Amino acid sequence: MLKKRILQIVILLFVAIFVTTGCNKNSTPDTEPSNQTADTPPALTGEELVNGRCIECHTMDRIKRDRSNEEWDEHTHRMLSKSPEMFTEEEFLRVLEYLQEQY
């Protein structure tokens, strides 16, 4: 009878170990979001953002022109209002900065 108990406990222990290692395996995806945030920092530069998104509706020719900082501010805000999901706020600032510096 006592032997049976011990056997039950041993089996329970094995099950517990199996479950916890199983949980550990399941919890590895938990580390993925932090990996993803580690992946995001190679964030696109202003240049890449402009080359990638601003040419969806017109060519770069339309963009490449000398403009004052105020004009860039105005243009980029107008473009953003056409396609608000184009950039996050941070990306938008990077784009504006790039355009103001570059053109």
Q: Considering the complex, what minimum distance in angstroms separates the CB of residue 49 from ligand HEC?
A: 7
How far, in Å, CA of 38 to CA of 17, rounded?
Answer: 32
Count other Cβ atoms within 10 Å, centred on residue 67: 15
Q: Which of 59, 78, 84, 85 binds ligand HEC (CB under 6 A)?
A: 78
Q: Which of 75, 91, 98, 100 binds ligand HEC (CB under 6 A)?
A: 75
Q: Which of 2, 26, 33, 56 binds ligand HEC (CB under 6 A)?
A: 56
Q: Could you give the C-alpha distances from 68 to 59, 79, 89, 97, 98, in angstroms and in order?
A: 20, 16, 21, 12, 13
Q: Does 53 bind ligand HEC (CB under 6 A)?
A: yes
Q: Does 46 bind ligand HEC (CB under 6 A)?
A: no
Closest CA to 96 of 78, 72, 80: 72
Nearer to ligand HEC, 3 or 79 (CB): 79
Phi-psi region of 55 (alpha: psi -120 to 50; beta: other; left: phi over 0): alpha
- The site for ligand HEC (CB under 6 A) is made up of 50, 53-54, 56-58, 62-63, 75-76, 78-79, 82-83, 86, 95, 99
